[in-house]
Amino acid sequence: MQSSMETRTLLVLENFIGGKFVPCPSHIDSYEPSTGEVYCKVPDSGEEEVEAAVAAAKEAFPGWAAHSPEQRSQILTKLADLIEAHLDEFAQAESKDQGKTLTFARTVDIPRSVYNFRFFASSVLHHTDDCSQMDHMGCLNYTVRCPVGVAGLISPWNLPLYLLTWKIAPAIAVGNTVVAKPSEMTSVTAWMMCKLMQQAGVPPGVVNVVFGTGPRAGDVLVGHPDVPLISFTGSTATARLITERSAPYCKKMSLELGGKNPAVVFADADLDRCIETTVRSSFFNQGEICLCTSRIYVERSVYSIFLEKFVAAARKWKTGVPSDTGNSNGALISKEHLEKVRGFVALAKSEGATVHCGEGVDPLDLPERNANGYFMGATVISGVPQGSRVMQEEIFGPVTCVSPFDSEDEAVAEANGVRYGLAATVWSRDVAKVHRVAARLQAGLVWTNCWLVRDLKLPFGGMKMSGVGREGGKDSYHFFTEVKTITIKH
């Protein structure tokens, strides 16, 4: 009797196609990470649902593209205002759905989602085109930027609404229509946003959201001949499949992939500030941010004192129930992901590394209701060989490895010695050294004496297997439009 009662109270999501919510015949269970219980049914969309969404987006495209930038800007601003007006509801839903702390959702995820719409609503009004005179040929050349068409947007589970709006906002600001597929594990806030579309003045078909898995819904979307552009944030392995499916159609692609981000700490660094920031950069959002620090290289003369202080600080980074404002971390996204992250810690131990705190060392004190949740404490490991999978592969959890180095060249070589190249941090008071090392690091973003300071006007993206392309400000404008050169003979 109890299970049937629970079934009746489950949240059941619907796809949003052509301005209407459309039920789906089959569903996927979505779990609440902090309890391990099913609390939501997400559409298991396939070819039929994606085809309907692409058709709606294609039909809406000419009318939306014909809107002036000012008209589109007003609608994006209204949508931002509506999300902000419901900020706490969105934050509660994001925390419950993803496992992150309510504090993080309130202060980072939802405010940034609002700002994404506001930023691109404004920036679309300020781009200029090029003009070139060729008087000797009697010609005037100029460029215009045109929307591409239907944009396929696939966003991940770690920052669900934050990264979905980072794609939707620039795509529709410049006149594209979109078919978005959020992660099937974190779909609730995208569904909630769809409820606000009509009130914001978004015409039917401009934003379509199809829920489901990558192998079913995602595969149809990226391989659809009427979707000329794909923006994807997620794993490098999935990006390979997307590239293969998109290749026959020569699609425009932006791929923001994994990271194995190093911090390089020199002996002359402000160690107190460095440790405070690097604990945050290692464990923020359960370490489930592509920009998190997972390898810390420390100059040998300060290595011991750094490690001692860093472990002490990591122990103060509390893990527990997401709604408790005293906790820094909540639960990891899923049981499978927790097991994967734990597997890396076990591998490090089997290779002779030392686990100083967190997994297997410090037990977590959880209420009975959360005993089956996917929690893991902030974990610091030392003595991991550079060639170990633990140092080479993205873990995407609250785990970081600390290693000593002897020279600047060694630090740079080890920091660059992975297949990823998304972000890096450098800690030193020596201005010349900071510039020199930053220039040598193979990373799309390098922070010096800070972390996660983001200006949306600047390019965002990675090198090597951390991705292809850049987004943000002018880069998003260029990606979501096609440039056309027009020559007038007079």
Q: What is the pLDDT of residue 5?
A: 39
Residue 1 has pLDDT above 90, yes or no: no
Q: What is the pLDDT of residue 138?
A: 96
Residue 333 has pLDDT above 90, yes or no: yes
Tell me what the mean pLDDT of segment 360-378 comes to.
Answer: 97
Residue 210 has pLDDT above 70, yes or no: yes
Q: Which of 32, 184, 256, 394 is catalytic?
A: 256
Residue 352 has pLDDT above 90, yes or no: yes
Q: How far is CA 423 from CA 188, 360, 396, 402, 414, in A?
A: 29, 29, 14, 17, 14
Q: Which of 24, 290, 292, 357 is catalytic?
A: 290
> For this structure, is 274 an active site residue?
no
Read off the pLDDT of residues 78-116 as tens digits, 9 standing for 90 and up: 999 999 999 999 999 999 999 999 999 999 999 999 999
Copy the structure tokens of residue 302.
Answer: 């300060």
Q: What is the pLDDT of residue 221?
A: 98
Nearest to 257 by CA among 291, 211, 307: 291
pLDDT band at 6 (very low <50, low <70, confident <90, very high): very low
Residue 308 has pLDDT above 80, yes or no: yes
Tell me what the mean pLDDT of segment 8-20 comes to.
Answer: 93
- Cα separation, 325 vs 316, in Å, equals 14
Question: What is the number of other CB atoms lying within 10 angstroms of the CB of residue 55?
Answer: 17
Residue 285 has pLDDT above 50, yes or no: yes
pLDDT band at 22 (very low <50, low <70, confident <90, very high): very high
Q: What is the pLDDT of residue 3?
A: 43
| Type of residue at 260 | K
Block residue for tokens 């009318």: 63
Classify the C-alpha dihedral 457-242-168-89 as positive or negative: negative
> For this structure, is 131 an active site residue?
no
Tell me what the mean pLDDT of segment 160-187 comes to.
Answer: 98
- Cα separation, 142 vs 55, in Å, equals 33
Q: How far is CA 79 from CA 165, 363, 422, 477, in A?
A: 11, 44, 31, 20
Tell me what the mean pLDDT of segment 3-7 comes to.
Answer: 42
Burial of 225 (0-12, 13-18, 19+ CB in 10 A): exposed
pLDDT band at 8 (very low <50, low <70, confident <90, very high): low
pLDDT band at 9 (very low <50, low <70, confident <90, very high): confident
As a whole number of Å, the end-to-end CA separation of the chain is 82
Tell me what the mean pLDDT of segment 422-427 comes to.
Answer: 98
CA atoms within 13 A on the CB side of 47: 3
Tell me what the mean pLDDT of segment 339-353 comes to.
Answer: 98
- Cα separation, 100 vs 69, in Å, equals 36
Task: Note the helical H segments in 352-398.
Answer: 389-392
Residue 157 has pLDDT above 60, yes or no: yes
Classify the C-alpha dihedral 394-395-400-404 as positive or negative: negative
- Could you tell me which residues come within 8 angstroms of residue 350 by beta carbon, excluding any fewer than 6 positions away? none
